[in-house]
Amino acid sequence: MSDKLNTKNVAIILAAGKSRRFDEEVPKQFAKLAGKPVIEHTLDIFDNHPLIDEIYVIVNKEYFAFTKTLIQRGLFKKVKKMLLGGETRQESSSVGIFACENDVKKVIIHDSARPFVDSNMITSVIQSLDEFIAVDVGIPPVDTIIEVSDDSKITNIPKRESLLRGQTPQGFQFPFIKKAHQKALKDGINNFTDDCSLILNYKLGEVYVLPGSEYNIKITYPLDMHIADKIFQIYKTNLNDISSDNIKDGIKGKIIVIFGGSKGIGLEIHKMVEELGGKAIVFSKSTGTDIRDFNSIKNALKTVYDKFKKIDAVICTAGVMKFGNIETIEIEDILEQINTNLVGSILVAKASITYLKQTNGNLLFFASSSYTKGRSSYTPYSASKAGLVNFVQGLSEELDHYKIKVNIINPERTDTPMRRMNFGKEDKSTLLTPESVALYALKTLVSGINGSIIEVRKK
Ligand code: CTP
Ligand code: MG
């Protein structure tokens, strides 16, 4: 027999649901998360997984064309089939199962609305299928689960220790899940909300359970998009895996423009880029470039382009902070902060696009921890940083089709001249060093991420 038989691992990605509980204009699997539709994040993980051979995407009629374009644009290598789903989740997954040919060995079924599935979790599910016919993932419930009757009376409170919340991916040896769906079809059953239930219902064997993850949420209600945004920031933009070799390879030979690089974090980035074999060109107010002036930015970028024939990244560390209450602060000081921190950054972005689209380059900005909550005594500063974060999120979507990456670093309190000027002497051990923030900036540039707020914390 040819060893081609029963060798394939297929991922079935369910995306045919109507998102009734989500109650927004687009179904949740197509809502934008960090610049791209949720389903694209999910597909990325499966497409890059070494143990997955093929992916079948199950969608509904309304979104078939949209999904097709998205898949073609995303250049997913493994998406072999796009199929029309059914009215219920079970029907949709059966469409995927019945589309498998007999060379399929293991099937992994996953909700497209779970974009934070971990690559290691997929590996564990697939490996466990050498031993078990079906594998689920689950996490402990946080609330007490109560059983209620039709007239809203508690009938039972099961012991929490024996309860888990089931997630996906769920994995199956293909013949077993196929049999389960065939039986359900014959019996006219179509409303099981997961595939392991079918295996149990028809007593086809034991289902092994692996630990799931708190991060592996299923986007369900509108609130979940806010949680997803936050998870994306703290989990997907985990840059710790980027090694110094990765940084070196990514920076070597790169032409990097830094606005505001004469001191603090900008200066550190400058030094590091040069040490790693890149070229950093610095423009700052002290050398005659004011980012409040569009022409001044345009001229700066043009001199760099004329000399080096490309620009790979534009970093804007220029920022102004002035202490003072609104009642008494000078108008001039308000305007200087807003016009540098927010308007200036927007102008830098605008002037950079023409160059960065040639290199699929990077735009990088700096926020402040005050962006999430205004702080008294420096309200124009924190307001301008909040505006800048919002700008970066929107711009990253706008420039995605040029493959320009737009991100923003949000460092905790950092030991910079600007900080010392405003806050005086502070205990250095509680402050981030400009070097450590600069390192995160370079990691961001080489990471390929887009539309992220990168939180840098003093551990
Ligand atoms: N799903 C599907 N086909 C269906 C129903 C659901 O492919 N007929 C998919 C969804 O797109 C989702 C996953 O199954 O990725 C989990 O289902 P659920 O979270 O219930 O999504 P929806 O059914 O779309 O949402 P709701 O129940 O709120 O309407
Ligand atoms: Mg549903």
Distance of CA 355 from the midpoint of ligand 2 (Å): 45
Helices (H), 144-291: 174-187, 195-201, 222-231, 244-251, 264-275
Nearest CA to ligand 1 atom 16: 111
**279-325 per-position pLDDT tens digit:** 999 999 998 999 999 999 999 999 999 999 999 999 999 999 999 99
Q: Is 252 exposed, middle or buried (0-12, 13-18, 19+ CB in 10 A)?
A: exposed
Task: Kindly tell me if the per-residue pLDDT of 3 is higher than 60.
Answer: no
Minimum-distance ligand 1 atom for the alpha carbon of 112 = 15
DSSP annotation of 144: P
Percentage of residues in the chain with pLDDT exceeding 70?
98
Task: Kindly tell me if the per-residue pLDDT of 74 is higher than 80.
Answer: no
Q: What is the pLDDT of residue 174?
A: 98
- Cα separation, 413 vs 411, in Å, equals 6
182 lines ligand 1 (CB under 6 A): no
- Cα separation, 280 vs 278, in Å, equals 7
**137-190 per-position pLDDT tens digit:** 999 999 999 999 999 999 999 998 899 999 999 999 999 999 999 999 999 999
Task: Kindly tell me if the per-residue pLDDT of 4 is higher than 70.
Answer: no
CA distances from 245 to 143, 273, 436, 449 (A): 45, 13, 17, 18
Nearest CA to ligand 1 atom 12: 111
207 lines ligand 1 (CB under 6 A): no
Q: Which of 326, 415, 329 is nearest to 375 (CA)?
A: 326
Q: Give the SS3 label for residue 98.
A: helix
- Cα separation, 438 vs 414, in Å, equals 11
| Mean local confidence (pLDDT), 437-458 | 90
Q: What is the pLDDT of residue 42?
A: 97
85 lines ligand 1 (CB under 6 A): yes
Distance of CA 174 from the midpoint of ligand 2 (Å): 24
Distance of CA 70 from the midpoint of ligand 2 (Å): 23
Q: What is the pLDDT of residue 421?
A: 83
- Of the listed ligands, the closest to the CA of 31 is 1
- Cα separation, 224 vs 426, in Å, equals 39
- Cα separation, 146 vs 129, in Å, equals 32
Contact between residue 12 and residue 108 where contact means Cβ atoms under 8 Å apart: yes
59 lines ligand 1 (CB under 6 A): no
* H or E stretch at 89: helix 89-98
Q: What is the pLDDT of residue 425?
A: 85
Nearest CA to ligand 1 atom 13: 111
Task: Kindly tell me if the per-residue pLDDT of 236 is higher than 90.
Answer: no
- Cα separation, 366 vs 345, in Å, equals 10
Neighbours of 102 (CB within 10 A): 11
- Cα separation, 48 vs 54, in Å, equals 11
CA distances from 75 to 41, 43, 398, 450 (A): 13, 11, 19, 17
Among 1-15, 251-265, 324-338, 356-370, which stretch is predicted with the lowest mean pLDDT? 1-15
Task: Kindly tell me if the per-residue pLDDT of 73 is higher than 70.
Answer: yes
29 lines ligand 1 (CB under 6 A): yes
Q: Which two tokens stand for residue 2?
A: 């040819």
- Of the listed ligands, the closest to the CA of 90 is 1
**341-375 per-position pLDDT tens digit:** 999 999 999 999 999 999 999 999 999 888 888 88
Nearest CA to ligand 1 atom 25: 19
**195-232 per-position pLDDT tens digit:** 999 999 999 999 999 999 999 999 999 999 999 988 88
Q: What is the pLDDT of residue 319?
A: 92
- pTM equals 0.75
Distance of CA 32 from the midpoint of ligand 2 (Å): 20
Q: What is the pLDDT of residue 177?
A: 98
Distance of CA 153 from the midpoint of ligand 2 (Å): 25
Contact between residue 208 and residue 135 where contact means Cβ atoms under 8 Å apart: yes
- Of the listed ligands, the closest to the CA of 194 is 1
- Cα separation, 328 vs 178, in Å, equals 73
The residue that leads in pLDDT, 293 or 241, is 293
348 lines ligand 1 (CB under 6 A): no
- Of the listed ligands, the closest to the CA of 87 is 1
**Band (237; pLDDT cuts 50, 70, 90):** low
Q: Which amino acid appears at position 275 of this protein?
A: E
Q: What is the pLDDT of residue 211?
A: 96
Q: Which amino acid appears at position 211 of this protein?
A: P
Distance of CA 28 from the midpoint of ligand 1 (Å): 9
Minimum-distance ligand 1 atom for the alpha carbon of 91 = 8
Distance of CA 19 from the midpoint of ligand 1 (Å): 6
Q: What is the pLDDT of residue 2?
A: 42
CA distances from 17 to 13, 30, 59, 76, 175 (A): 11, 11, 8, 22, 26
20 lines ligand 1 (CB under 6 A): yes
The residue that leads in pLDDT, 426 or 331, is 331
| Mean local confidence (pLDDT), 49-67 | 97
Minimum-distance ligand 1 atom for the alpha carbon of 114 = 15
DSSP string, 58-84: EE-GGGHHHHHHHHHHHT-SSEEEEEE
Minimum-distance ligand 1 atom for the alpha carbon of 15 = 11
190 lines ligand 1 (CB under 6 A): no
Distance of CA 105 from the midpoint of ligand 1 (Å): 25
Task: Kindly tell me if the per-residue pLDDT of 51 is higher than 80.
Answer: yes
89 lines ligand 1 (CB under 6 A): yes
Minimum-distance ligand 1 atom for the alpha carbon of 22 = 28
**Band (1; pLDDT cuts 50, 70, 90):** very low
Residue of 14, 22, 56, 63 to mutate, ligand 1, most atoms within 8 A of C-beta: 14
